Amino acid sequence: MKLSDFKYNLPKTAIAKFPVTPRDAAKLMVLNRATEEIEHKVFSDIIDYMDKGDVVVINKTKVMQARLIGKKERTNAKIEVFVLRELNKEENIWDVIVDPARKVRIGNRIYFNDNLWCEVIDNTTSRGRTVRFNEDAGDIFKAIEEIGNTPLPPYIKREPVPEDRENYQTIFAEIDGSVAAPTAGLHFTPQLVKKIEKKGIKFVPVILHIGLGTFRPVEVEDLTKHRMDSEYYEIPEETAETINKALKSKKNVFVVGTSTCRALESSVTAEGFSKPNRGWTDKFIFPPYDFKITKKLITNFHAPESTLMMLVAAFAGYDFTMKAYKKALKEGYRFLSYGDAMLIL
């Protein structure tokens, strides 16, 4: 398929700027692949599509408060440092993006407060830098959490507010490492999870730390030539065992989000079962694709020509996906990270 096949008109008014309250009150569009029927529900109704013995796989990555505002030494010029990932824990070395990049060179120091500063030690791209945080800063993740700002997606045209620290974080978030939320998981509440578990359905975690590549546009018409950014993932042994037990018992594996889906589909045995693993994946899923682990998919409505939308089309079918997106716009569904959800059966 081609990039242009995934083009559609997304009005700015359809992009959600804030989430609904409570989280599970978001709209839920249910797509039945077997019958190509579409139902309109609310997210809390998702329990009705789950049965005892089913498994729900979630991503327990945690969004870092990745936007740091600092001042350059001597000039006091305002510099934004967007932290991407830790490269070396012992030496406090990180990959970052700086803005304005023209003012930031190797050897420059950027101060954030009395306790935290970094020194630029390498240029990686036009805006990318490698930095070393000061040795006496302590836990860098903790320091970032305290002084950083929520890295709202670029299509949410507003400054973050204090509520975003909680709103742009799933209730499953445990392990620091993402610069974007696994948004399908944002719809779950503790109360809904308890109801689902009480029905005999088990939640199991994976980790995939989402990078800025999730927002990066595809720039080639021929999708076979696109290369995804590598992202770190983990599939724990217990998670793989629980998934495989469900698959062997012909139970459903509900996968929450495209990030979780990519992690699972990146580590599959020759027999088509989940394999415990940890490492880096640049797996790009687009039509046609034979899903091995994912049996049901929970996801949001994604941007035109995005790799996330392409994964959804690979799972639901291209024509059915485009039909659903058209109907969602007509019915007033809210799109993107803070928007409504889709369940694909």
Per-domain residue ranges for the chain?
3-63+165-344, 67-147
Q: What are 223's two structure tokens? A: 């999708």
Residue 125's pLDDT band (boundaries 50, 70, 90)?
A: confident
Nearest CA among 343, 342, 61 for reference residue 205: 61
| CB count in 10 Å sphere of residue 52 | 9
In this predicted structure, which of 133-137, 289-293, 327-331 has the lowest mean pLDDT? 133-137
Residue 127's pLDDT band (boundaries 50, 70, 90)?
A: confident
Sheet holding 253-256, edge to edge: 37-42, 27-32, 341-344, 296-300, 253-256, 55-59, 202-208, 231-235, 277-281
Percent of the chain having pLDDT more than 70? 100
Residue 74's pLDDT band (boundaries 50, 70, 90)?
A: confident
Report the pLDDT averaged over residues 160-183.
Answer: 96
Contact 32, 338 (CB under 8 A): no
Q: Round to whole Å and give the CA distance between 55 and 260.
A: 13
Residue 272's pLDDT band (boundaries 50, 70, 90)?
A: very high
Residue 273's pLDDT band (boundaries 50, 70, 90)?
A: very high
Task: Determine the straight-line distance between the first and last CA of the chain, rounded to whole angstroms.
Answer: 23
Note the CATH architecture for domain 67-147: Beta Barrel (2.40)
User: What is the pTM (predicted TM-score) of this model?
Assistant: 0.94
Helix 258-265 × helix 307-316 angle, to 10° = 70
Quick check: do 3-63+165-344 and 67-147 share a fold? Answer: no
166-172 contacts at long range (C-beta below 8 A, 24 or more positions apart): 167/18, 167/19, 167/338, 168/63, 168/337, 168/338, 169/62, 169/63, 170/58, 170/59, 170/60, 172/58, 172/59, 172/60, 172/203, 172/205
Fold observed for domain 3-63+165-344: QueA-like (3.40.1780)
Residue 216's pLDDT band (boundaries 50, 70, 90)?
A: confident
Percent of the chain having pLDDT more than 90? 94
pLDDT at residue 41 tops 90: yes
Helix 307-316 × helix 318-330 angle, to 10° = 110
Determine the pLDDT at residue 124: 87
Q: Round to whole Å and give the CA distance between 141 and 174.
A: 12
Determine the pLDDT at residue 215: 84
